[in-house]
C-alpha cells in the first residue's frame, strides 16, 4: 500500500479541492480530483511497458481494484441492484483516499460484493464530466441512424452487431476514458452473461449502472451487449505518453 504522505503532490498540476470546491465530501482529497489526475496519482502500475494489462496503467486504483474483485463475483444475485452498507462504502472511500491502493483480495473482512459494487457506482457518479461527451454521442447516433445501422440490442450474445461508427468514436477517446469505459462495460457484459444466476438483465443493469456512466440508452446497450466486439484499440495513447 502507498500512503498519501509518501506521495509528492505538485499543487500547480494537481490542485486538491478545498471544502467548498469538492464535488464529494470535503474529507476526500484524491477521490475528488478529475479522472486524469486520479489515474496519474493512483495507477496500479507506473510503467506502461511493464503492464500485464493496460488497464493497470490507465485506470485509477479504485475502479481497477473494484472491477478486479467484482469479476470474481459475477454470479452474485442482484449485483449492482442490491446496495451495500452506506457506512461500509464511506469507509472504503476513506481508505482508498488515504491508502491510494488496496488489494481487495487481501481484505479478510470483506464478504459482501454489494459494498464494492456500490463503491464503484458512487465513484463513477462523482466523476466530473462525461466519459463520452454528449455531443459526440449524438453525432455518432445520427451517423448510425443515417446509414441505417442498428446498434446491438445487448442480448449478451457474441454474434451481435456493433456499428463501425461506434468503434471509431471509442478509439478517439482519451486513454483515461477509453480504458475505463472498456473495463467497466466488458465487466458488465460478463455480468449479463451470468444473468440466469445473478438476475441482472440488460434493463436491470441499465437502470442500476447506466446513470453513473451517463451514456445514452442505445450506447449503453451497444457497449454492454456487444462487449469485446466494441473495441478496436485506443488511437490516442501516444499523445498522452509523450
- Enumerate the domain spans of the chain: 35-241
Instruction: Cell numbers for 133, please give them.
Output: 461527451
Give 24's contacts (C-beta < 8 A, 6+ positions apart).
31, 32, 93, 126
Radius of gyration of the chain (CA): 18
For 43, the grid coordinates are 495507477
3-class DSSP state for residue 14? coil
3-state secondary structure of 204: helix
End-to-end CA distance of the chain: 28
- Give, in degrees to the nearest 5, the angle at Cα 90 between 89 and 96: 90
Q: Where are the beta strands (DSSP E) in 13-55?
A: none
Predicted local distance difference test score (pLDDT) of residue 196: 96
Alpha-helical segments (H) within the chain: 35-42, 55-58, 61-70, 86-99, 113-126, 134-146, 164-171, 175-193, 195-198, 202-213, 217-226, 237-241
Give CA–CA dist 221/203, Å, rounded.
9
How many CB atoms lie under 10 A from the CB of residue 106? 8
CB neighbours of 63 closer than 8 A, spacing ≥ 6? Answer: 120, 123, 124, 180, 183, 184
Instruction: Report whether 192 contacts 154 (CB < 8 A).
Output: yes
Give the pLDDT of the chain (242 residues) as one tens digit per residue: 444 333 333 333 444 444 444 444 446 889 999 999 999 999 999 999 999 999 999 999 999 999 999 999 999 999 999 999 999 999 999 999 999 999 999 999 999 999 999 999 999 999 998 999 999 999 898 888 765 454 554 444 434 578 899 999 999 999 999 999 999 999 999 999 999 999 999 999 999 999 999 999 989 999 999 999 999 999 999 999 98
Task: Kindly write down the DSSP assignment for every residue of 65-130, as one continuous string.
Answer: HHHHHHTT-TT-TTTTTSPPPHHHHHHHHHHHHHHS---GGG-TT---HHHHHHHHHHHHHHSSS-
C-alpha span between 173 and 223 (Å, rounded): 15
> What's the whole-model pTM score?
0.85
Domain 35-241 superfamily per CATH: Rho GTPase activation protein (1.10.555.10)
Amino acid at each position: 500500500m502507498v500512503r498519501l504522505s509518501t506521495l509528492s503532490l505538485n499543487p500547480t498540476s494537481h490542485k486538491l479541492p478545498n471544502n467548498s470546491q469538492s464535488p464529494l465530501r470535503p474529507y476526500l482529497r484524491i477521490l475528488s480530483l478529475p479522472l486524469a489526475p486520479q489515474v496519474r496519482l493512483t495507477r496500479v502500475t507506473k510503467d506502461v511497458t511493464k503492464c500485464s494489462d493496460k488497464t493497470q496503467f490507465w485506470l485509477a486504483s479504485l475502479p481497477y481494484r473494484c472491477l478486479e474483485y467484482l469479476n470474481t463475483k459475477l454470479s452474485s444475485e442482484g449485483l449492482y441492484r442490491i446496495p451495500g452498507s452506506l457506512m461500509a462504502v464511506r469507509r472504503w472511500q476513506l481508505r482508498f483516499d488515504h491508502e491510494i491502493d488496496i488489494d481487495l483480495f487481501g481484505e479478510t473482512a470483506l464478504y459482501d460484493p454489494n459494498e464494492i459494487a456500490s463503491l464503484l457506482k458512487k465513484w463513477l457518479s462523482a466523476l466530473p464530466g462525461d466519459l463520452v461527451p454528449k455531443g459526440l454521442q449524438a453525432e455518432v447516433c445520427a451517423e448510425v441512424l443515417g446509414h441505417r445501422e442498428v446498434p446491438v440490442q445487448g442480448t449478451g450474445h457474441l454474434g451481435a452487431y456493433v456499428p463501425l461508427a461506434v468503434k471509431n468514436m471509442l478509439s478517439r477517446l482519451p486513454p483515461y476514458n477509453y480504458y475505463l469505459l472498456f473495463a467497466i462495460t466488458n465487466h458488465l457484459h460478463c455480468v449479463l452473461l451470468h444473468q440466469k444466476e445473478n438476475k441482472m438483465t440488460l434493463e436491470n443493469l441499465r437502470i442500476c449502472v447506466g446513470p453513473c456512466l451517463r451514456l445514452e440508452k442505445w450506447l449503453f446497450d451497444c457497449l454492454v451487449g456487444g462487449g469485446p466486439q466494441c473495441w478496436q484499440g485506443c488511437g490516442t495513447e501516444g499523445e498522452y505518453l509523450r
